[in-house]
Structure formats: structure tokens, C-alpha cells
Structure 1
């Protein structure tokens, strides 16, 4: 099972300009018109991806992406890193295929802690890459900027050069000490790490997922200054390109302060943890047509739902769920699954 991903909070930035949405021919699960991602730098679509058929792949046919999570509370907002000194231009693959998005506001489920049968009204399901897609609109979780716990020691033995080191030791995430940061500080390293993570992205596509959620975009804030925002964006561009080449939409995960730049690379939607709690939802919704928000605090969830029910404050592209911090399956003690 995957690790949980309680929000690694980032500083709030000014909202981006609203981008124009275009309709797509694929019918979404709730019967309303879906959208395709549209950005000034997005690649030209050439073919529709194969729809998910709901067939369950075996776990070893999908990329290994994690181990059982441990409970963790979201941290206080971190001080953002230095401002980017330029957004790398995306270089889409000529073989990139068209990607689709769910209709804005489609109810979703966040199932990283274990797969459940989705509720009847859920049109979007986020699951770990080791789980089977549902045949609805399926988003595949991949840890893109750090190792998964079960991979860490093996990578340190077989290819330690891909890991960021400090004072001779691999640099670990203090919140998740069994994860180490990938070294994306140089172009050749970015290419090698992107190839490694790209294999997991390709496996998500082969399994039948529609999009990929790439976690730990904010790893640069834990790099002791060794990784810059420019390095982060250059690497993110490679992952966006890889996802699109596989026919998958690319979801930005958290890190509100880089929203403008990541969207400009061609990212298609956003998955945000506690954007209402930290008052960042408008940063994402002003940039992306589809934003999936996971709240872990009841008061923040209730506030988000109240705003979504009021026409004066409703954000068309926002979908909100309340989850327990371990994102447990429904049958587990302490599990929380609610949406509005």
C-alpha cells in the first residue's frame, strides 16, 4: 500500500489568470461535457488515449509505489524557497497523445491508503499505482521527487548517484525518514531520474489510468539549498512530457507557490491537500480547470462545502473531500470518507 501524503504546506501566492477551457469529445461519468487541458505551452493533441476498462492488473504489473503509511499530521506552512529565475520551456514529444480531464466539479475519492469500491456518485478516483484503476476517471499516485520506502535501500546500494547527499550522507525527508530525495540538481541527473520515474508513469498508463499525480514537488524546500526551483521546474517539465507521451493528464500536487510555472509547463489539473485550511484553493482554481482538494480537518471541510454551496463563492472546478490522515479504506477503524 502507498504512503499517505498529508499536505506539505507551502506559501500562498497571488492567483494566476483564469485559463480558457475547451470541451472534449469523451463523455465523462456524470454525463456532462469533459474538458481537455489547454495552456499556451501545451502540446498539440494527436490521438485519444484508450479509456480505462476497469480490468484489474496484478500488483506486479504496475509500478511499486509504496508501503503501508504511518499516521502523520500536516506541518505548518513552510517558508518558500527562492523565487524561480526562469521557467524552463516544455519540449513536448512529437508522439504525445491527447489527454482528457473529468468535468469540473466532479465528485471524487482519495483512496491512497487502500482501494475501496467507489461510491455511486464518485466520478474520479485517486489510487496508488499498485492498485487497479476503477474504470471511472482514474488518477495514479507516483512519488516523483523522492524514493518510496521500499525502494530506498536498494537504490542506495545500486545507484547512489541518483540520491541527493549532504555531508556524505543521503538526504532524507525528516517527515518521512525512510524516503530520500532524488538529486535533480544537474541536467544529466534529471534525465536519469526522470527515466526511472517515467517507467512508473508508463506503467500507470498501461494499467488503464487516465492521469498521474506526482508527489513531493516541494522537495526542494527540504534540500538544504542543494536543489533550486529552476532545477525543480526543469525536472517537472520532463515528467509532464513523459505523462503526455503516455496519454496521461499530469496533476500538480500541492506547492501552491509554483502553480503558475508548473501550469505553464503543460500540467493539466491539480491535487491539493488542505487548500481550504491554508487558504490556497483560489491559487489552484484560477490556474486549473479541475482541482481535487483533500481536507483532513472537519472545520476546514465544512467551510469549503459552505463556500461551494453558495453561488457567490463557488469555484466551478473545485471538488472537495474529507479524509482521515491515514486515508484508510472504509472498513478500517477511524476511516473518514465524505464529500460535498
Structure 2
């Protein structure tokens, strides 16, 4: 994992009351889904919440955290991989396996990769992830960022971009039904497909470092929240996009303020 819409509200058709996996069937009911404001101060707090610094208008926090008062809140979920040591929370057949039957791991994070290769498995995984989205909505978050959309780029022997897009569309449909905007996490390869997948904005790690900010800005009409983890990355992002995108530098552990290693810088 590389730690890599429209202005104004969007009206999204929502499905009838759901049972089980998210449904894509529209009904006459509508909800208003509002993407985050563009080009504002923001903070990436997925390692633990703390009082947003002065001027911050958007915050992203883990789904198990609570929203920050008075700002736009994005709910972070790990949608394409199991959390570390959480393999047991998933049915064994929903974990991606190699030819010998061993679980495939993202070794950088010691996280088992989820198997999204069939419609049936996508729906079962989406049913579980959908409960997390429900929790985000119930807590008062405004949007969701679903991490590890890019598993297909790291495990191409098993997963394809079409698998990722089909699964993400289930999640974005469900988020919209709950009144939440859906953000694309990294994955520049699929940025041009954002509208068909139902993605409203982007949360992008190190686009300055990897010189990808322009591609995300074009695809998402500048509704891009950038987090860099190095001085070089921050300098590159600020040099090209300070007047357009929302940019912050955080420490790699995204430690809360007051804890060892905490770092937050802006342009």
C-alpha cells in the first residue's frame, strides 16, 4: 500500500430499504450527498483524533473514532484488506489465497487481502463493509474513504482493475444511500473511471512525491485532499497545487498531537 466532484451538493438516487448486501436499484427517494469543500485547510487524523488546528475545515478519522465538531468529517475504512490480525473476522473463503491455498498478505502492513474476484464474494464482503459505512453515518460523518482500492496493482496475479471497480461501486452506492459522499483513495490508474464508479472526491497520499497530483486534479475537478509524508513531497505538492488542492504533511504514523513523532505541516 502506497501511503498514496463536483462543486456543491450532488443529488443521488437511493435504493429502497436494504437487507444484506448493498443494492443498486434506484427508488423515487433521494438524499443530498455533499462532497468536502475544495481548497481548504485539512488534517489527516486516521492514527487518532485530536482538536483540529485553527483553519482546518476537513478531517479524516478512523471509523472507530468520533467526528470532529464543526468541520467536514471523512470516515476511514480499510475496505479491501483485513486489518492486521483480523483475518478471523472474515469467512476463510473471503481471504485471497495463492495456488497452494495460503492467504495472500500485504506484507508492508501484515494485512490479509480480501478476495473480490467474483460477484458473489464482492456482495458478501460489501455486506460487512456496509455495516461499517452504516456506523460512519450513525456517528455523523459526512463521507467515507475506502482504503486499498489499489490492491489489484500490488497483486496483479490475482486481482484486476475491473474487480476493484465493481466492488467499489457497491460501496459507493451504499454510502450514497446513507447520505455519505465516497472518496477514492489513491489509485491513479482508475481516476478516469471515478464517475462510473460513483466516487465524489479523492484522498491522495504522496501525489506530490509521485508527481500524480495533476491527474487526480483533472479527474476530480480539483476536489482532492493531499497528504504528503516527506519534505520533498510537500514541497512538490505546494509548488504546483497550493492554490488549487487541499494539502497537508503528516508523520508516517499519523500520530495524534501530543504523542511522540507527531508532525503536521502545510504549504
TM-score (normalizing by structure 2): 0.89
Check the 8 A contact 2:216/2:224 in 1, yes or no: yes
The equivalent residue for 2:179 is 247
SS of the counterpart of 1:123?
A: strand
Secondary structure of 1:286 counterpart = helix
1:126 to 60, 65, 85: 60
Following TM superposition, by how much is the alpha carbon of 1:104 offset from its aligned partner in structure 2, in angstroms?
1.1
Q: Is the CA contact (8 Å cut-off) linking 1:213 and 1:252 kept in structure 2?
A: yes
The Cα shift of 1:171 comes to 1.0
Deviation at 1:45, TM superposition (A): 7.6
SS at match of 2:210: coil
Structure 1 spans left out of the alignment, 5+ residues = 9-18, 23-34, 47-89
Over 3 Å counting, the alpha-carbon distance change for 1:43 and 1:336 in structure 2 is same
Instruction: Tell me, yes or no, if structure 1 residue 301 matches structure 2 residue 234.
Output: yes
Name the CA distance, whole Å, in 1 between partners of 2:2 and 2:187. Answer: 13
* 1:146 aligns to 2:142 (yes or no): no
Give the structure 1 partner of residue 253 of structure 2: 326
Dislocated runs of 4+, deviation >6 Å: none
SS at match of 1:301: helix
Residue 214 of structure 2 is matched in structure 1 by 282
Aligned equivalent of 1:99: 33
Partner of 1:32: none
* CA offsets 1:290-324 (integer angstroms, 9 cap, x no match): 10000011122123223345xxxx43xx1000111
For residues 298 and 92 of structure 1, do their structure 2 counterparts lie closer, same or farther at Cα, with a shift above 3 Å needed?
farther
Residue 262 of structure 1 is matched in structure 2 by: 194
Distance across 1 between alignment mates of 2:231 and 2:123: 41
Q: Structure 1, residues 49-72: CA drift from partner, whole Å, max 9, x if none?
A: xxxxxxxxxxxxxxxxxxxxxxxx
262-271 or 114-123, larger mean C-alpha shift: 262-271
Q: Secondary structure at the match of 2:176?
A: helix
Cα distance, 1:187–1:321 mapped onto 2, change above 3 Å: same
**RMSD of the alignment, in Å?**
2.1
Q: Is the 8 A contact 2:194 2:200 kept in 1?
A: no
Q: Distance in 2 between matches of 1:96 and 1:259?
A: 26
Per the TM alignment, residue 233 of structure 1 is displaced from its structure 2 partner at its CA by 0.9
Aligned equivalents of 1:201, 1:247: Cα separation in 2? 10
- 1:335 maps to which residue? 262
Normalising by structure 1, we get a TM-score of 0.71
* Counterparts of 1:280 and 1:234, CA distance in 2: 24
- The whole-number CA distance in structure 2 between the counterparts of 1:276 and 1:146 is 25
Which of 1 and 2 has higher RCO (CA within 8 Å, sep 6+)? Answer: 1
1:36 pairs with 2:22: no
Contact residue 166 and residue 197 of structure 2 kept, 8 A = no
C-alpha separation in 2, matches of 1:107 and 1:101:
15
Q: Quick check: which one's strand share is greater?
A: 2
Alignment match, 1:197: 129
In the alignment, the residues of structure 1 paired with residue 178 and residue 63 of structure 2 have an alpha-carbon distance, to the nearest angstrom, of 15
Q: After superposition, what is the alpha-carbon deviation per residue over 1:123-160, rounded to whole angstroms, capped at 9, x for unaligned?
A: 000000111101310000000101112422343xxx10
Give the Å deviation of 1:164.
1.1
User: C-alpha displacement at 1:44, in angstroms?
Assistant: 4.1
Q: Distance in 1 between matches of 2:95 and 2:215?
A: 32
Deviation at 1:103, TM superposition (A): 2.3
* Corresponding residue number in structure 2 for 1:163: 95
